[in-house]
Amino acid sequence: MILRAAWVFSIDAPALQDGAVCVHDGRIEWVRPWSAVSADERSAAVDLGRAALLPGLVNPHAHLELSCYAGQLPPGPLWTWLSGLLRLREAPDRAEREARGVRDGAAQALMHGTTCIGDISRTGSAWRSLADSPIRAVCFAELLSLATEPPRNPAELIAVLREVPQSDRRIAGVSAHAPYTVDAAGIAASISLAVQMERPWCAHWAETREEVAFLSGMSDALPPPIAAMAAAAGIGGHAGSPIGALEKLLERAFGADADGRRRARTFSGALAHCNYLDREDIARLARLSMTVVYCPRAHEYYGHESHPLPLLLEAGVRVALGTDSLAATPSMSLLEEARHVWKRVARGRVSPLLNPERLLRMITLDAARALRLDDRIGSLRAGKQADLSAFPIRSDCAANDALEAARALVETAPLATGVWVDGVRVT
């Protein structure tokens, strides 16, 4: 199969005007200018017309099971939202309702051009609901020491992970919810487990001011019900900063000797949100190999202060964009997340290091890196799996300017006109 498009954004190579991508046996065989395609090859090509062809978009942070609660919780602080969510989840038929939410959320993600998603499920069972979906998924099982159902400890986490049948399209990921809901031993064990099983790892980190205060040693900083549960589970602060706490946990997982420090620095995981990091912590984070996943519209929904995105980019920290859940964001569109950031660039509120092509990288290759899949997906390179998405380019876009084409794509955030996973068209 050969696909021709007005623009081909490989992400890790310059964009091609009037380019083509050849797919064979589910993998990318080559990416070329149309002028370099032979007459025989041209005769078999599918012309996508005035479209941009990209790697399939990658969403590194979602909670698909919460899709069924879309529109049921008003914007407001995370803690108020969380209380409302817990009440909604107490209603009868939760399992059936949330399984339907997983399917609906995945279908919407595909419609918006997402071909791979990092999905966090409280019980790790969402993979069953994705059995008939063509979407590629890292299905994170979430360790939560405060929970009333598994996985609550590393042994239960291992059991849940082993239930997930592994394939190119289904990978069981390891998640420790947050440092105020999982004890230090549990977080360190989850990191060790991710390394041993060669799985992606993620956690929510520095999401609220209260969490940051708790980590500094203020045990009464969390809302009273959560503080009480944390105390009962033996979860205490770390008497330090968020990234200082992370460094201690990495040392606990890898050891304090030179080899352990090296392994800690090169450990690749995803930190969701990181809304409240100061310059010192950002400098420390830049020495690690973590990816920060920023969810712009959910960030605004919860009323957080300005995200430290400019400082993260200036320090060289890798940042990807995610959606979070439909219970806190209006759609599963990663392009709409990118547009949300771009609007702030236009108003001078975000780093000048950002441009539309950088935003496209944040929802493809950088996002794939957050899931440890950047060697398989996230860019259009020979040998990678043929996950692709095509989007229309508006007619007033300058014909020969890649940055303008990328800007048009981000500003319009259109639905995908075609989506392929492993070279097979799925929408």
∠ at Cα 24 (20, 30), nearest 5°? Answer: 40
CA 353, chain centre distance (Å): 21
What is the Rg, in whole angstroms, of the alpha carbon atoms belonging to the chain? Answer: 21
The CATH 2.30.40.10 domain(s) of the chain lie at 2-55+381-425
Residue 127's closest CA among 165, 175, 100, 81? 165
pLDDT of residue 123: 82
Q: Are 21 and 8 in contact (CB under 8 A)?
A: yes
377-409: burial string, b at 16+ Cβ within 10 Å, e else = bbbbbeebbbbbbbbbbeeebeeeebebbbbbb
pLDDT of residue 328: 97
For the segment 49-88, what is each residue's pLDDT rounded down to a tens digit? 999 999 999 999 999 999 999 999 999 999 999 999 999 9
Read off the pLDDT of each residue in 118-139 and give the average, rounded to a whole number: 94
Residue 393 confidence (pLDDT) above 70: yes
For the segment 169-215, what is each residue's pLDDT rounded down to a tens digit? 999 999 999 999 999 999 999 999 999 999 999 999 999 999 999 99
**Is residue 305 very low, low, confident or very high in pLDDT (cuts 50, 70, 90)?**
very high
Residue 265 confidence (pLDDT) above 90: yes
| C-alpha span between 135 and 114 (Å, rounded) | 8
pLDDT of residue 75: 97
The CATH 3.20.20.140 domain(s) of the chain lie at 57-370
Residue 395 confidence (pLDDT) above 80: no
Which residue's entry shows tokens 């935003």?
359
Using a pLDDT cut of 70, give the percent of the chain over it: 98
Read off the pLDDT of each residue in 365-386 and give the average, rounded to a whole number: 98
**Is residue 351 very low, low, confident or very high in pLDDT (cuts 50, 70, 90)?**
confident
**Is residue 346 very low, low, confident or very high in pLDDT (cuts 50, 70, 90)?**
low
Range name among 81-95, 234-248, 385-399 with the lowest pLDDT average: 385-399
Phi, psi of 391 (to 5 degrees): -135, 145
Token couple for 143 = 């360790």
The amino acid present at 123, given as its one-letter code, is T
| C-alpha span between 237 and 183 (Å, rounded) | 9
Asked if the 57-370 domain carries CATH number 3.40.50.1820, the reply is no
- Residue scoring higher pLDDT (328 or 147): 328
| Three-class SS of the chain | CEEEEEEECCCCCCCEEEEEEEEECCEEEEEEEHHHCCHHHHHCEEECCCEEEEECEEEEEECHHHHHHCCCCCCCCHHHHHHHHHHHHCCCCHHHHHHHHHHHHHHHHHHCCEEEEEEEECCCCHHHHCCCCCCEEEEEEEECCCCCCCCCCHHHHHHHHHHCCCCCCEEEEEEECCCCCCCHHHHHHHHHHHHHHCCCEEEEECCCHHHHHHHCCCCCCCCHHHHHHHHHCCCCCCCCCHHHHHHHHHHHHHCCCHHHHHHHHHCCCEEEECCCCCHHHHHHHHCCCCEEEECHHHHHHCCCCCCCHHHHHHHCCEEEECCCCCCCCCCCCHHHHHHHHHHHHHCCCCCCCCCHHHHHHHCCHHHHHHCCCCCCCCCCCCCCECCEEEEECCCCCCCCCHHHHHHHHHHHCCCCCEEEECCEECC
For the segment 216-233, what is each residue's pLDDT rounded down to a tens digit? 999 889 999 999 999 998
Phi, psi of 76 (to 5 degrees): 165, -175
CATH topology of domain 2-55+381-425: Urease, subunit C; domain 1 (2.30.40)
**Is residue 410 very low, low, confident or very high in pLDDT (cuts 50, 70, 90)?**
very high
pLDDT of residue 215: 94
Token couple for 340 = 């949300």
Residue 117 confidence (pLDDT) above 90: yes
Residue 399 confidence (pLDDT) above 80: no
| C-alpha span between 298 and 304 (Å, rounded) | 9
